[in-house]
Amino acid sequence: MTLAPILSKTSYKYPQKSREIPKMPRQKIEIPLNCTGYNTTRKCPSNYPTTYNPEEDHDRPPPPTCPDYFRWIHEDLRPWAHTGISKDMVERAKRTANFRLVIVNGKAYVEKYQKSFQTRDVFTVWGILQLLRRYPGRVPDLDLMFDCVDWPVVLSKAYSGPNATSPPPVFRYCGDDDSLDIVFPDWSFWGWSEINIKPWVHLLKDLKEGNNRTKWVDREPYAYWKGNPAVAATRQDLLKCNVSDKQDWNARVYAQDWGREIKEGYKQSNLASQCIHRYKVYIEGSAWSVSEKYILACDSVTLLVKPRYYDFFTRGLVPKQHYWPTKDDDKCRSIKFAVDWGNSHQKEAQEIGKAASDFIQEKLKMEYVYDYMFHLLNEYAKLLQYKPTVPPKATELCSEAMACRENGLNKKFMRDSMVNSPADSGPCTLPPPYGPSSIYSVLQKKTNSIKEVELWEKKYWENQDKQQ
């Protein structure tokens, strides 16, 4: 007997494509520069977005962890970790400050005390305004003093001992091991109009293209430096390393005449056209120099003359990995050894140059500059023991209040560096503080690498002396 097949609605099931409802992409919010409205009212626009949280989109991947140098944020704020920051501490920082910045309910207010050199203060404030546009409603209320002068002023020794007062929190562009100043990204990330250096987001592309024009092996096998020697004795000392009839230290060193450059239209100062040597020297000026990031971006081996100062990202650099440590008290011999070593170890030398430029392109891209600012200001605001209020003499600032009244390169660089819409994702995730053992390990590793290079250099010159 043949059994009839049992037929039912569930006997056979064939896979069917489920009809997915396409998700609507998050609408991009544009924040145009409204100069017409501002010139009429002289008031900042009231329609800036006040909240924007891309993390609410659960299908969006989580933001990456920030580069390791962000961990120094915790160290820079450690002097106030147990005491917090009182209004009196902030007021005491006024002594050297160029301006006071207050953020209340997402709006920025600035009280100016003294004009900075060139437009440092202008483009620093501009950068902070762009941060507010990038992360609207997410930068907390805060109150800070900013000093635009190069060298740190809050000396550690003045705030140590049983009867010492808490140090005033002063923001600036660099610090050193003897000071407690809080380091912050410098003005040139948004452009340096006085010497025609573009905003970082555009210059970074130019530097990458400049790297590709000449392969490392085809570059001049010498160390190159060009800058203003008048600002520091150590730079004047570097000029002695230039090639002469009597001696070639493998260095090609040039004094930069900015007055002449300005008159001739900056024809000889295009940074992207200066990646034609295998080695480039970085040497500090009156303090740290903004040139460091341009030099590191070149694929050339950076010969870093022993520095005293650091800025916000350079503490993430490792000797022999990102740069070649060079003596400051015996520059010429140190440079000659470095170049001879690199020319006889070309694979290793190229790897050092490439690691540095990769670090600059990947870990110092503009997104991370903003994220560093965000996390530093956020962690700083947590320490404030009072509710910030707008000072009576402060002026509300917005992009319109700054860019609409500018002319020439100032206006161009502001427009070129302007954040036109909120970020598509939240800031990177801040890594935890160093523990005592881990920070010691990081510093010891750097010290050991430098000592190893110094030992190689010592043996090199001992052999040179024997041959003579």
Q: What is the mean pLDDT of each run of 10 residues along the chain (468 residues)?
A: 43 47 63 87 85 69 93 97 96 96 96 94 97 95 97 94 91 97 97 93 92 93 93 94 90 79 57 85 93 94 97 97 97 97 97 97 97 98 97 94 93 96 93 92 95 96 84
Query: How far is 254 from 226, CA to CA, in rounded Å?
Result: 5
pLDDT at residue 3, as a whole number: 44
Q: Burial, 341: exposed, middle or buried (Cβ in 10 Å; 0-12, 13-18, 19+)?
A: middle
Query: How far is 239 from 228, CA to CA, in rounded Å?
Result: 11
DSSP, collapsed to helix, strand or coil, labels residue 182 as strand
Q: Are residues 205 and 345 in the same domain?
A: yes
Q: Are residues 377 and 244 in the same domain?
A: no
What phi and psi values does residue 445 have, to the nearest 5 degrees? -60, -40
Q: Are residues 74 and 170 in the same domain?
A: yes
Question: What length is written for the chain?
Answer: 468
Q: Are residues 348 and 202 in the same domain?
A: yes
Query: How far is 185 from 373, CA to CA, in rounded Å?
Result: 7
Q: Are residues 332 and 431 in the same domain?
A: no
Is the distance from CB of 334 to CB of 467 less than 8 angstroms? no
Query: How far is 343 from 354, CA to CA, in rounded Å?
Result: 15
Query: How far is 258 from 227, CA to CA, in rounded Å?
Result: 9
Is the distance from CB of 341 to CB of 106 less than 8 angstroms? no
pLDDT at residue 436, as a whole number: 87
Q: Are residues 346 and 378 in the same domain?
A: no
pLDDT at residue 10, as a whole number: 41
Q: Are residues 271 and 295 in the same domain?
A: yes
Q: Are residues 215 and 332 in the same domain?
A: yes
Q: Are residues 410 and 277 in the same domain?
A: no
Q: Are residues 223 and 320 in the same domain?
A: yes
pLDDT at residue 195, as a whole number: 87
The pair of structure tokens assigned to 202 is 């555009």
Is the distance from CB of 94 to CB of 113 less than 8 angstroms? yes
pLDDT at residue 210, as a whole number: 87
What is the 8-class DSSP label of residue 179?
Answer: B
Is the distance from CB of 166 to CB of 83 less than 8 angstroms? yes
| Parent domain of 308 | 196-365
Number of domains in the chain: 2
pLDDT at residue 246, as a whole number: 86
Q: HEC profile for 246-272?
A: CCCCCEEEEECCHHHHHHCCCCCCCHH
pLDDT at residue 1, as a whole number: 45
State the amino acid at position 50 in one-letter form.
Answer: T
- Does residue 388 belong to any structural domain of this protein? yes
pLDDT at residue 11, as a whole number: 39
Q: Are residues 82 and 208 in the same domain?
A: no
DSSP, collapsed to helix, strand or coil, labels residue 119 as coil
pLDDT at residue 262, as a whole number: 62
Domain with residue 335: its CATH number is 3.40.50
